[in-house]
Structure 1
């Protein structure tokens, strides 16, 4: 396997892994990322965890194909249950919803002992993941946003440290930055602007539906959505103009 055989998303995740680390890839996507870690000599050892039988068998086949059975351990199990305490330095969880990632980390909290880095790529619900970090002693140390095949992904990296540090002395409130991403907001990339423009389109559709509704509660909900759209408009304006943002 060579670098061009894995997605831009997975390669970016791999770039956040310290060289020589012992890594767990939870929900291993047929062990593609695990294979890349080993073939590129990034990780010294990888645990590839899969819950369902089909992907588990595909991961076993992939590892056998590259002859890496001695350095990649494919295990079937739920979340961090596939790990022993102190077995890995880095945990990667990618391609799941933010709520599911939070549940995996919460339920497997005892397996985080000895882990120094988390590399997490939620498909949705990034705010939930950042909030979990903030509330559980993990410092968001880096994040990036990318677009591949028309889909926008955010990758969040956390290390042991001071959870509040990324949110201090910023031009947006902590609650806003949990949604926006403190590092992403500082960078203000075109991809972040596209993400929030798409969010605006979604909320506008909701508002249009509410305005057509005759239910009494629809009017109240419409006002809430209008407030959300107003906030998003402010975000988009700042992203397009790159001017200092305002606190709402």
Structure 2
């Protein structure tokens, strides 16, 4: 397996899969992640799930080309339905919006009773995934935030358990991430500086409206204040 085919964020995702993993990669595209994991761990097994015909065929070709057909099953289907009766223990959902990831998990709740770990990499709206974990018995055990090709990505790792363990200030930590708040690395600061500026631009635009929504403006101002408090405390390495 050519490691160059795998992005840095997917390398990080792979690190959170255990040895002898039996995982489903939902929206697997070309099956790069399953191929990488199974090529370095001959005891691993993966389901590469794809709903679209083009990527489904690409994944099948990739798996066959690398002689990994004994370890990787490429399955066409929607969301978690690709798990079927396979004894999957881990799930990866990467490269989608947080809303879509939440919808996939919600639609496939009946498939999750024996799942030990979910690794989610939302492109946006990571807070929606954290909220889902917190109310569906998946404990957020680790988070990473990385910058790649000009974009900033969050990776959330949740294990089956009490979804509310580890939160001290639920509202704030669902938005920013409890583990990310403790580290506040460079990518974290850059992301939230950008998010603050987006909100400031929206506030200015809303002030120009014919009918000004003062309640909505106040809400955005409160979010800006929260972001500023988090960013200003970036040097203390403590969770607010």
CA distance 1:245–1:17, shift in 2 (3 Å): closer
> Aligned Cα RMSD in Å?
1.6
Report the secondary structure of 1:196's partner residue: helix
The Cα of 1:222 is off from its aligned counterpart by 2.1
Equivalent in the alignment of 2:36: 36
Superposed, 1:113-192 pairs within 5 Å as 113-168=113-168, 173-192=169-188
1:210 aligns with 2:206: yes
Determine which of 222, 232, 235 is the counterpart of 1:227: 222
Report the secondary structure of 2:31's partner residue: helix
Q: Residue 117 of structure 2 contacts residue 157 of structure 2 at CA under 8 Å; is this kept in 1?
A: yes
Equivalent in the alignment of 2:48: 48
Report the secondary structure of 2:103's partner residue: helix
Name the count of aligned residue pairs.
240
Report the secondary structure of 1:155's partner residue: strand
- Runs (4+) of structure 1 exceeding 4 A deviation are 243-246
Report the secondary structure of 1:82's partner residue: helix
Structure 2: distance between partners of 1:70 and 1:85: 17
Structure 1: distance between partners of 2:116 and 2:150: 32
Structure 2: distance between partners of 1:50 and 1:244: 41
Equivalent in the alignment of 2:3: 3
Q: Gaps (5+ residues) in structure 2?
A: none
The Cα of 1:162 is off from its aligned counterpart by 2.5
1:236 aligns with 2:198: no
Q: Residue 183 of structure 2 contacts residue 237 of structure 2 at CA under 8 Å; is this kept in 1?
A: no
What TM-score results when the alignment is normalised by the length of structure 1?
0.91
The Cα of 1:187 is off from its aligned counterpart by 1.1
The Cα of 1:194 is off from its aligned counterpart by 0.7
CA distance 1:224–1:27, shift in 2 (3 Å): same
Report the secondary structure of 1:178's partner residue: helix
Per-residue displacement from partner, 1:59-98 (whole Å, max 9, x unpaired)?
A: 1111111111111111110001111245211100001111
Report the secondary structure of 1:87's partner residue: coil
Structure 2: distance between partners of 1:86 and 1:38: 16
Structure 1: distance between partners of 2:239 and 2:67: 52
Per-residue displacement from partner, 1:147-184 (whole Å, max 9, x unpaired)?
A: 0011101100011222222114xxxx211000111111
Structure 2: distance between partners of 1:113 and 1:56: 27
